[in-house]
Every structure is written in structure tokens, then in C-alpha cells.
Amino acid sequence: MTLLSLNAVSMNFAGLQALRDVNISIEPGERRAIIGPNGAGKTTLFNIISGELSPSSGTVTLAGRTVTNLTPERMFRLGLARTFQKNSLFLDLTTQENVRLAVQAHQRQGHHWFQPWWAFDAVNERTRRVLEGAGLWSRRLEPAKNLSYGEQRQLEMAIALAGEPALLLLDEPTAGMSVAETASSVATIGALPRDLTLLIIEHDMDTVFALADRITVLDHGLVIADDVPDVVRNDEQVRAVYLGEPL
Ligand SMILES: Nc1ncnc2c1ncn2[C@@H]1O[C@H](COP(=O)(O)OP(=O)(O)OP(=O)(O)O)[C@@H](O)[C@H]1O
Ligand SMILES: [Mg+2]
């Protein structure tokens, strides 16, 4: 069964059509890259999927259920997590505290006002595993503001993963990173569980081709290609949009 589908989704911002009749279908466990020039509508697409925005028209379904106008909180509870294009950390808290807050936010889903003693152990354990998975265990006591830029992006991803989401949306996870930080991030993302469905907006083509099973190309709000990497790489329309840039 399709995990996520966008059906004829359009988005207008005061006369600007950011998305035009977008149809996208994502299978469970798929790793899908969303690419396209600046202003193509990629982040808008994420905002619609995650509930930050309601589309002007069209529908979104998650595992067969219509979720078009659900809030980000509801989408989060249905297993969706995301990172943002811009930094969203608590910079004065430690790395570990940032992750712990995210783990606790997820534990509170059951609306338990009272937490039994064993819940704290579970939070600690989950926090440790998330920090290790992100390669940040040795940096756990460092305030987030002292982390390198690349480490901060890794921490954002760790926070998104804290609740073991089924669907993870990454908005330009390697933007602004050094070559070494990018390599480390690609390795971290590549090592995520295979049953986690991943949508990744990315400008770095090496990263796209290293991670994606399938690529959707947006240009001026239109889907101009949606296929496996080898087909997209050789698509004439895509090449025209990326004129001068190696694909
Ligand atoms: N809240 C908003 N109000 C008005 N216009 C917006 C809003 N959000 C996005 N836009 C416009 O919609 C278009 C698509 O923006 P979007 O951020 O989705 O592009 P993008 O593909 O993510 O670009 P980038 O690669 O630069 O991040 C742009 O022209 C942008 O200026
Ligand atoms: Mg964007």
C-alpha cells in the first residue's frame, strides 16, 4: 500500500502559484529525493505534507487516510517527523538535553500526567541510543551552540528521529556543510532503518544519487520528472533546468 500520496495538490500565495497540480506517490520504505531550483516549491511541499500549511486545493493521504488539513501535532502523532531548512535547536541547552526533550515529547503522547519511575529509564536509554546513532554521544554535555554547524544539523536529525517516526522529511540536511560533514551526514542517513520512509530535499547531487531510490524534480511548482535516478539524470527537461550543472 502507498504510504504517502499527494493528489492534485496546488498552493497559491497571493497570486504566486508555488505548487501546481502536484501528484506524488511514495511507497513504504522508499527513499525519495525532491530536487529543483530555488523557489521551485520544495519546502512548500514539505510544509503541506507536515501540516504546517493547508493546500489551496488537492488532498494528501497517509497510509490511505486523508490527512490534508491535520495540524503538525497530529501528523507528528501519526509518525511524521521533519527537520527544517533553518536551525531549530535550543542553543543554550546541551546536546543531550535537546534530544531528551524530543524523546520526552514523544513519551507524553499518551497524556500521562504522572510518569512512573521506569519511564525515566526508558527516556535515558532512548536518548543514549539516539545520540549514539547520530555520532554525538561524545558531545552530549556540550551546549548546542558550541557544536559545529555540521554537528548542529546532525543534532536536528537526531531530534527528528527521537520518536522513531515512520516517515522522515529532511530539508537540505547537508546545506552549508563541509565535504567531511556532508560525507558523515550521508553515512548517517544511509544507515537509517530501511523501513523508515525518507523524503529528502537536497541540492547536492552526489548526496541525492547516493541516497535516493527515486527522484521527483520540481520546477516552478510543477513536477517535471518522477523516476529512478538513472532516468532522471538523462531526462532532457531536467538537464535544461539544471543547465550548466552536472547531474
Ligand atoms: N509563506 C509564503 N508566502 C508567500 N510566498 C511564499 C511563502 N512560502 C513560499 N513562498 C514562495 O513560494 C515559492 C516556493 O518557495 P519554496 O520555499 O517552497 O521553494 P524551495 O523549492 O524550497 O526553494 P529553496 O531551494 O530556495 O529552498 C517561492 O517563490 C517563495 O517565495
Ligand atoms: Mg526550500
CATH number of the domain residue 227 falls in: 3.40.50.300
* Alpha carbon distance 5, 8 (integer Å): 10
pLDDT band at 99 (very low <50, low <70, confident <90, very high): very high
Tally of domains in the chain: 2
Q: Are residues 142 and 118 in the same domain?
A: yes
The last residue of one of the domains, among 164, 194, 212, is 164
Last residue of a domain, one of 118, 137, 164: 164
Specify the ligand 1 atom closest to the Cα of 14. 4
How many whole angstroms from 96 Cα to the centroid of ligand 1? 33
174 and 158, same structural domain? Answer: no
Q: What is the per-residue pLDDT for 233? A: 92
Which helix (H) or strand (E) segment is 218 a member of? strand 214-219
Categorize the per-residue pLDDT at 37 as very low, low, confident or very high, splitting at 50, 70 and 90.
very high
**β-bridge pairing 167-171 and 197-201:** parallel
- Decide which of 133, 164, 195 is a domain's last residue: 164
pLDDT computed for residue 122 by the predictor:
85
Is-contact 81 157, C-beta < 8 A? no
Residues in contact with ligand 1 by the CB-under-6-Å rule are 13, 16, 18, 36, 38-44, 85
Do 208 and 93 fall within a single domain? no
Dihedral of alpha carbons 171, 22, 195, 109, sign: positive
- Look at residue 163 in the predicted model and tell me its pLDDT: 84
**Nearest Cα to 201, choosing from 218, 176, 223?**
218
**Residue 131 shares a structural domain with residue 245:** no
**pLDDT score recorded for residue 245:** 63
Nearest-atom number in ligand 1 for the CA of 53 is: 1
| 143 closest CA partner among 89, 104, 102, 103 | 89
Tens of pLDDT, residues 5-21: 999 999 999 989 999 99
Q: Are residues 37 and 109 in the same domain?
A: no
What is the Å distance from ligand 2's center to 38 Cα?
A: 7
70 in the same domain as 2: yes
**Domain boundaries, position 218:** 1-79+166-247
Instruction: Supply the DSSP symbol for 204.
Output: -
Q: Whose CA is nearest to atom 8 of ligand 1?
A: 44
What are residue 243's phi and psi, to 5 degrees? -45, 125
* pLDDT reported for residue 89: 92
pLDDT at 109: 57
* Same domain for 205 and 157: no
The answer to whether the predicted template modeling score (pTM) of the entire model surpasses 0.75 is yes
List pLDDT tens digits, range 132-191. Answer: 989 999 999 999 999 999 999 999 999 999 988 999 999 999 998 999 999 989 999 999
Same-domain check for residues 3 and 53: yes
- Give the gyration radius of the chain's Cα atoms: 18
Which class for 204: exposed (0-12), middle (13-18), buried (19 or more C-beta within 10 A)?
A: middle
Same domain, 181 and 73: yes
